[in-house]
Structure 1
Amino acid sequence: MTQHSLTAVDPGAFAASGTVIVIPARNEQAYIADCLDSLFAQATPRRAGIVICVNNTTDDTAAIALDRARSRHWPLIVIQADLAKGSVGQARGLGHSVALRAAPHASVLLSTDADCRPAPRWQAEMEMTLHRAPAVLGRIEVAAQELAGFPGQFLRRQHIENDFAELAMEFERLMDPAGPDGIGLNTAGGANLGFRRATYLHVGGYRAMPSGEDRDIIARVRQAGLRPIRADQAVVVASMRLIGRAPGGMADQILARSGCGDCSVDSALVPFEAMVAQHLGRQTPSLPMTLSRAMQDLPLLRDCVEGLRGLSCIHSRRRHLAALLQNPLEMENGCGTEDADDSWN
Structure 2
Amino acid sequence: MVPLARKTLLHEWRRFLPSGFAVAFSGLLLLVQAALVLGIFGSAAVYVRKSGGDLWLGFPGTQSIELGRPISAQAQIAALMDPAVARVEPFNWLDGDWRGPADKGGVSVFISGIDTHADALMFADALSPDLRARLDEPDGVIVDRADLAKLGLDVGGQAILNGHRVRIVGAGNGLRALGGVNILTSLETSRRLDNGEHAGQVAYYVVKLKDPSQASAVQARLDAQGKAGRFQAWTRDDFARNAVIYWMFETGAGLGVMFLAVVVVLVGAVITSQTLMGAVAGSIREYATLHALGVGVRALRRVVLEQAAWVGAFGILVGGLGTLIVVALAQRRDVPAQLSPMIVVVCAALVMVIALLSGLAALRTLRKADPALLLR
Higher relative contact order (CA 8 A, sep 6+): 2
| Same-fold status (TM-score > 0.5) | no
TM-score normalised by structure 2 residue count = 0.20
**Highest CA radius of gyration, 1 or 2?**
2
